[in-house]
Amino acid sequence: MSKNEAYFQQVSAEVKPFRKHEYDLNPLFLNRWSPRSYSERKVSDADLFAVLEAAHWAPSSFNDQPWRFFVAKTDEQLRLYHEFLNDFNRSWASKAPVLVVIASDKLRDNGDPNGAHAFDAGTAWGYLALQAKLLGLVTHAIGGFDREKARRLLNVPDRFELHAVVALGYQGEKGVLPEGLQEREVPNGRRSLHELVIEGKYQA
């Protein structure tokens, strides 16, 4: 058995029909996807903070660690966060037991602009998503929300940019979703790697 075949045997049955890899990699990267169905099962504080612990160990420019995580886990907090989700995303994300707004500080400690803040926050999101998967949790990053309303409701200073709201919890049955979303509740694929890798100069 080749190494590639051995890895593929560890890919979950849920994703095998939809995801084929061209080179060997840890199955974690294939098994992680972004469902919209969430169960009512609560996330323990131990698991929530393990996920955030992983995120805060992401690399960052000059080790500035510009990411910030605004967390809603109580019913009162969640209702507040639901207010700034758009209608489509509220229709499914309102079932998630935890919502995390990922933001980043646009300024360094000395007041200079940090040109890497968004790049670094994106890396933290990736770490968060992978640690969640390792704990049996699922995540879905949401870009469709009212950033100005979120800034106002959460009292976020102007120096922080708001990037995404992450739904975190345990995967539920797709039947809990609105009918139009049920058929979309499958792992998505990727373009061929060779479409995305440019060796040397870009060739028009």
Residue 1 has pLDDT above 70, yes or no: no
Residue 7 has pLDDT above 90, yes or no: no
Mean pLDDT within 55-74: 98
Amino acid at 23: Y
Among 163, 34, 23, smallest CA distance to 92 is for: 34
> Which pLDDT score, from 0 to 100, does residue 203 have?
86
pTM above 0.95, yes or no: no
Spatial neighbors of 14 by CB under 8 A, at least 6 apart, are 31, 187
> Which pLDDT score, from 0 to 100, does residue 3 have?
55
**DSSP string of 151-185?**
HHHHT--TTEEEEEEEEEE-B--GGGS-HHHHTT-
Residue 94 has pLDDT above 60, yes or no: yes
**Average model confidence (pLDDT) for the chain?**
94
| pLDDT tens-digit map of 21-50 | 889 899 999 999 999 999 999 999 999 999
Mean pLDDT within 165-193: 93
CATH 3.40.109.10 in the chain is located at 33-176
Mean pLDDT within 169-185: 92
> Which pLDDT score, from 0 to 100, does residue 181 have?
93
Residue 5 has pLDDT above 80, yes or no: no
Q: Please give the CATH superfamily to which domain 33-176 belongs.
A: NADH Oxidase (3.40.109.10)
φ/ψ of residue 112, rounded to 5: -70, 150
pLDDT > 70 fraction of the chain, expressed in percent and rounded: 96
> Which pLDDT score, from 0 to 100, does residue 90 have?
97
> Which pLDDT score, from 0 to 100, does residue 10 have?
86
Q: Please tell me the least confidently modeled range out of 15-19, 50-54, 136-140.
A: 15-19
CA 31 to chain centre: 14
Task: Tell me the β-bridge partners of 167.
Answer: 99, 140
Query: Please, are residues 142 and 98 in contact by the beta-carbon 8 Å criterion?
Result: no
Query: Please, are residues 90 and 82 in contact by the beta-carbon 8 Å criterion?
Result: yes
> Which pLDDT score, from 0 to 100, does residue 189 have?
93
